[in-house]
Structure 1
């Protein structure tokens, strides 16, 4: 089953359809963006409902309703945990230990995550207890660690002496030296204290491309970069992802701010449209957005491999720079843009209508990127 189109892509198509010129039909706009006309009509109807033009349940209201139902279920589970805990601890003939209760609740359908959160327990020691029930000494040490962690989480500026005071008030007796040892082992230091150990550097990948911008099939090598352009309302930033095989822009994201979220969203949009991306190499420059923890984690979730060029070497990502050069000449520098919305519509229209489906490229045998993928790949690899 194909994945749904990215939300940002839907909004862009609706913008273009709403701002289409005289004589341009919705069906023509749908064909330019490679979607079915009925699908575009549904997107426009949903957008009218969200904007209050037509009656109906908005997307936000639907999301709020789903969140409310999820929250109600979660509250019911938390209430069940508290009710069972009160009954469990009131029985004098049972040991005052919580892990057996968590196990009983899990057997009754209450997630371990919910039970541990309500009872203020860490899950990892619980799972270790399931594998091998611990002795009293180990359990007492775990309880001390739980208490210190709870105090550190509530007041991260406290040092180990203050944390020990908080733990003793909570009933976990220990010496200051014991609290220091536990905090040292778990790296629970005060945010105002001196740095401990080596400072971790931002993750940086090796250059796996070495300016060899070639690929024998789709989803083998992608390139990405960020460009900006000024409007009357301020700058607008575009992060695009390009498949070297067909030179197609498989994903992009446009925003008023150049944060790591811009690069992560562009990557997610590309994966949503291409799907089978495991093992794909994504090459970029050394921008902070592409070295951020969120972006590296996104690559890991999609089983992709990162690649980064050298410092100050624009040629290491020349194939992506050539696309931005075309965009600069054909769209950005053609006129003065009063609003970000106006420029956004122009960018997505040129990418989806002109660059993908009308601009023939010599490197592709005088075919467009969409035509080249249709001819050179099987339907299973074609874009959504």
Structure 2
């Protein structure tokens, strides 16, 4: 997703676990380019255990068709799921996350005087808070704490 602030444009590329909504990994930059998408996927793959080969869903964006992204996906034996053209329900998990993110972090706030670097730092801090501390009502605790309780993460 993209954020436009007075200082310029910032792009966020996350991997969201559709099971519990946890942002598994994310990258932040000023352009939705191959490096942003590739680093996001490499970071997500680094969290996989032996024998884990999940399905990765993406939209039809060109950065998910670039050779580097496809190579990383194949190296980690990820099954690819691509949304149907014009079918937003395919992207519901990501779009719901982006809606919460923009409502809680972005909309109604004034970013005048905030540099690109400063905005990226704030966005990264929000993402970390969302993953580690934000209470998910379904669980009554944070996603990370719930995963630790279930023995799914250290």
- Give the alignment's TM-score, normalised by structure 2: 0.89
Q: Between Structure 1 and Structure 2, how many residues are aligned?
A: 152
Q: For 1:313 and 1:336, how far apart are their aligned partners in 2?
A: 33
Higher normalized helix content (fraction of residues): 1
Matching of residues 122-137 of structure 1 within 5 Å: none
What do residues 273-315 of structure 1 show as CA deviations (whole Å, max 9, x unaligned)?
3444632100111111112222111100111111101111111
Q: For 1:306 and 1:277, how far apart are their aligned partners in 2?
A: 17
**Secondary structure in 2 matching 1:253:** strand
1:345 aligns with 2:121: yes
- The answer to whether the Cα contact below 8 Å between 1:242 and 1:248 also exists between their aligned partners in 2 is yes
| Counterpart in the other structure of 2:13 | 239
Matching of residues 20-35 of structure 1 within 5 Å: none
| Counterpart in the other structure of 2:153 | 382
| Counterpart in the other structure of 1:332 | 106
1:280 aligns with 2:54: yes
Higher normalized strand content (fraction of residues): 2
Cα offset, 1:373, TM superposition? 0.5
**Secondary structure in 2 matching 1:350:** helix
**Secondary structure in 1 matching 2:135:** coil
**Secondary structure in 1 matching 2:14:** strand
**Secondary structure in 2 matching 1:273:** coil
Gap regions ≥5 residues in structure 1: 1-226
**Secondary structure in 2 matching 1:261:** helix
**Secondary structure in 1 matching 2:140:** coil
Aligned alpha-carbon RMSD (Å): 1.7
**Secondary structure in 1 matching 2:57:** strand
Which residue of the other structure, out of 343, 348, 357, is the alignment partner of 2:132? 357
1:260 aligns with 2:37: no
- The answer to whether the Cα contact below 8 Å between 1:243 and 1:250 also exists between their aligned partners in 2 is yes
Q: Relative contact order: is structure 1 or structure 2 higher (C-alpha 8 Å, sep ≥ 6)?
A: 2
Larger Rg: 1
Alpha-carbon spacing, 1:277–1:316, altered in 2? closer, same or farther (3 Å): farther
- The structure 1 segments of at least 4 consecutive aligned residues displaced by more than 3 Å after TM superposition are 273-278
Matching of residues 141-156 of structure 1 within 5 Å: none
Cα offset, 1:329, TM superposition? 0.9
What do residues 199-231 of structure 1 show as CA deviations (whole Å, max 9, x unaligned)?
xxxxxxxxxxxxxxxxxxxxxxxxxxxx00112
- The answer to whether the Cα contact below 8 Å between 2:57 and 2:80 also exists between their aligned partners in 1 is yes
Q: For 2:85 and 2:100, how far apart are their aligned partners in 1?
A: 24
Which residue of the other structure, out of 353, 361, 366, is the alignment partner of 2:140? 366
Q: For 1:341 and 1:276, how far apart are their aligned partners in 2?
A: 36
Cα offset, 1:232, TM superposition? 2.6
Gap regions ≥5 residues in structure 2: none
